[in-house]
Structure 1
Amino acid sequence: MRHGKKVNHLGRTASHRKAMLSNMASSLILHKRVSTTVAKAKALRKYVEPLLTKSKSDTTHSRRTCFAYLQNKESVKELFDEVSTKVANRPGGYTRILKTGYRLGDNAEMCVIELVDYNEDMLAKDTSTSTGAKRTRRRGGSKKSDAAAAATDATAAPKAKDKAAAPAATAAAEPATPAKEEAAPEATDAADAPAESTDSKDETKDAQ
């Protein structure tokens, strides 16, 4: 049973696998891009990224260690002279795997593994997005709610003024009504008074 054994042997012996990964790592460093299967690319990434990290310290010991893995003087020279300066400020993640479909014949999943800092198109997109407005994963509902609250406050203020003005107007209009009602009985009394006077005149005439 292979419990906990994550190494992909890639159908090769140990010596064949080691020689293949060494050769692919040298090609990746020299050409910055290699087309291969996804399984080999994932194995190559684990093989070459520690070498890229070691190239950040340009010492004789580091060069000899990388040469023990690569077995190629030109690739070691390229790694320490050119690639190390490009990846100096990157804390890991030096390679990128881009899947390209399936190979005709055995239907193997193909990809391109490349050095991240040498893909000019991807770098241009990254710089354009970084110079623009910073985007977050939050929905921004709080901003909308604040704007809605401000709008409701703005609409509520005139309504409050109208409500405050309405009681004052009604209070001013209410005293006028009793005055009219009080004036009306006086008017009726005044209207009844001439009737009484005419009745008294009729009574005096009858008495005569």
Structure 2
Amino acid sequence: RSLAEKMVTLGKKGTLAARRQAIATLKQEGLVRVLFDEIAPGFESRAGGYTRILKLGRRMSDSSEMVLLEWIEGSEKAADTEQVEAAAE
């Protein structure tokens, strides 16, 4: 979670130095391109807290705690879309 938050903050800066830091951390230029061009602009007005952790319980095989990590903005847009579709019907 903390890595995702830091990467979005770098993406919001949008500078060449921030892009190089993200490439050094993530090691994939395509992933950094998506982060800077698609994900980070959606969080321009948000100061922090870009992700949400939902606990899923424990895995049967080794009893490891499982979680679902999701973007805050994406889930709100999905909920708004469902409400609009329900109102249209």
Give the TM-score normalised by structure 2.
0.81
Corresponding position: 1:105 with 2:61? yes
Over residues 17-62 of structure 1, what are the superposed CA-to-partner deviations in whole Å (9 max), with x where a residue is unaligned?
xxxxxxxxxxxxxxxxxxxxxxxxxxxx112211111111211111
One-letter amino acid matched to 2:70: E
Corresponding position: 1:59 with 2:15? yes
Corresponding position: 1:80 with 2:51? no
CA distance in 1, matches of 2:5, 2:27: 16
One-letter amino acid matched to 1:87: F
Residue 91 of structure 1 is aligned with which of 34, 47, 52? 47
Higher relative contact order (CA 8 A, sep 6+): 2
Pairs aligned (count): 78
Residue 114 (structure 1) shift: 1.1
- The residue that corresponds to 1:117 in the other structure is 73
CA distance in 1, matches of 2:43, 2:59: 32
- The residue that corresponds to 1:68 in the other structure is 24
CA distance in 1, matches of 2:3, 2:36: 17
CA distance in 2, matches of 1:86, 1:100: 27
Which structure has the bigger radius of gyration?
1
RMSD over aligned CA atoms reads 1.1
Consecutive aligned runs of 4 or more in structure 1 exceeding 6 Å deviation: none
Query: Relative to total residues, which structure has the larger helix share, 1 or 2?
Result: 1
CA distance in 2, matches of 1:81, 1:106: 38
Query: Relative to total residues, which structure has the larger strand share, 1 or 2?
Result: 2
SS at 1:66's partner residue?
A: helix
Residue 95 (structure 1) shift: 0.6
CA distance in 2, matches of 1:109, 1:84: 29
Give structure 1 stretches of 5+ with no counterpart. Answer: 1-44, 125-208
SS at 1:56's partner residue?
A: helix
